[in-house]
Copies of this chain bind each other. A is one copy, B any other.
Amino acid sequence: MFILPKKVTIIEVGPRDGLQNEQNYVAEDDKLAFIQALQQAGVQEMELTSFVSPKWVPQMQDAASIVQKAERKGRQIVLAPNAKGAELALAAGASSIAVFVGVSNTFNKKNINRTTEESMDALAPVLAQLKSQGIFIRACISTAFYCPYEGKIDPQAVVALCQQFVAMGAAELSVADTIGMANPQESYTLFTMLKEKLPETLLTAHFHDTRKMALANIYAALQAGVDRFDSSAGGLGGCPFAPGATGNVATEDVVHMLDTLHIETGIDVLQVCQAISRIAPHVSRPIDSGMYRLFSNGQL
């Protein structure tokens, strides 16, 4: 039997990944109330918002204001897709910045019109500058298992990209099954390799529940020693550039499973559900996590 970690850190991505992928703009005050409720539920690390073009992504038009108004509590991460975004994030006072690159060339080309190598070349000076200013850099690795265009991704390519990111100053790697196709053995294999090759770097697993394997993949990642997981309250979000990629794994389902395994997260499932019930009227997607259904039926 594997020894599982005794404590796990949840990185809540709902306010960013979740609301960025909503059809409509959610009002700033509703976002701030959601963020605050999640903080009160015990969330210590959170993707708050994204410094993307308000022209293309109006959902995140209030990024600077969100950073300035959200209560400073734990690690608050903002997404910056490029140099311009990083500049705006710094100006708003962000101290932790996330950048994204897919392992798959085709995915990157379709997503940001650059190959993986071109993306890394463009990010190099940005990361160097952020690092020199003492900013915490979170590198998000998309399509780390499967790509909707290229199929199965070679784990060695994921390891190589992660090593490159660490050499460029990343303090955290968030390794994502962007289209929800990974199985538990693939989760175990990749995270075991990453733990071995990059033992000093914070390693986070990011799973989608598209094919209902997210908790199985998280369980396998726990067996590989992973103790950090991205998740989204209510399972909000997904990936607009990955066809069929509906649904981050829901924070309340992950925390509940960890609770039953006696793994500490510091997060209260009931309070997460209460936070979701505040944002639910403002989002178009039905909330269908296991724990939120029980909560809605008065069975929690």
Contacts and interface: CB of A to CB of B under 8 A. Distances in A.
Contact of A244 (B210, B288, B294): B294
Interface string A274-300: 000000000000001111011001010
Interface in A203-242: 209-216, 218-220
Given A244-B294, A297-B244, A299-B244, A289 B212 contact: yes
B257 A216 contact: yes
Given A219-B216, A220-B219, A299-B244, A294 B210 contact: yes
A209 B212 contact: yes
Copies in the complex: 2
A57 interface: no
Interface residues of A, number: 37
A184 interface: yes
A2 to B, nearest CB: 9
A185 interface: yes
Interface string A247-261: 000100100110011
A243 interface: yes
A1 interface: yes
Contacts of A257: 183-184, 211-213, 216
A165 interface: no
A188 interface: yes
A215 B297 CA distance: 23
A212 B210 contact: no
Q: Kindly list the 9 A-B residue pairs having the minimum CB-CB distance in the complex, ordered from nearest.
A: A212-B290, A183-B260, A216-B216, A211-B290, A215-B216, A216-B219, A212-B253, A244-B299, A184-B219
Interface of A: 1, 4, 180-181, 183-186, 188, 209-216, 218-220, 243-244, 246, 250, 253, 256-257, 260-261, 288-291, 293-294, 297, 299
